[in-house]
Amino acid sequence: MSYQVLIQPTAFQEIETSYRWMCDNLSAEVANSWYYELLDAIASLKEFPNRCSIAPEAPVIGREIRQLWVGKRRKYRVLFVVSENTVAILHVRNSRQSDLGEESE
């Protein structure tokens, strides 16, 4: 079964913010490499998204939120929910950020 992957506006904004930060503080090359690695990881959710573990904040939020780690050092988490034939990307967070529900959003 193939799932449709939708990036929600909040996640899109988080991706854009991280990309801009990398461009400003690291380099455009690093930012572009990260961006394409992230897009490839997100695209991989079209097949078997339930292979990913449940995010630690799922019990606090009260939904089955899953996480996909991205990067060699697992620096970013893609947080998403699976519903029927759709994967909705809710957040893309740096591993240094606190879990959802531990901060005001």
pLDDT of residue 59: 85
11: in domain = yes
- Specify the DSSP class assigned to residue 32: H
Contact 1, 85 (CB under 8 A): yes
Average of per-residue pLDDT across 9-35: 95
CA dihedral of 44, 50, 52, 58, whole degrees rounded to 10: 130
Contact 65, 49 (CB under 8 A): no
75: in domain = yes
Helix (H) or strand (E) holding 31: helix 28-43
Q: How many CB atoms lie within 10 A of CB 17?
A: 11
Tokens of 47: 């097949």
Please give the share of the chain, as a percent, with pLDDT higher than 90: 74
Which domain does 47 fall in, by range? 4-94
The total of structural domains in the chain comes to 1
99: in domain = no
46: in domain = yes
69: in domain = yes
89: in domain = yes
Stronger pLDDT, 30 or 96, i.e. the higher one: 30
Looking up residue 34, the CATH number of its domain turns out to be: 3.30.2310.20
pTM: 0.85
Q: How far apart, in whole angstroms, are the C-alpha atoms of residue 29 and residue 32?
A: 5
40: in domain = yes
Average pLDDT, the chain: 88
Contact 95, 75 (CB under 8 A): yes
Q: Residue 64: which of 78, 50, 76 has the closest Cα?
A: 50
105: in domain = no
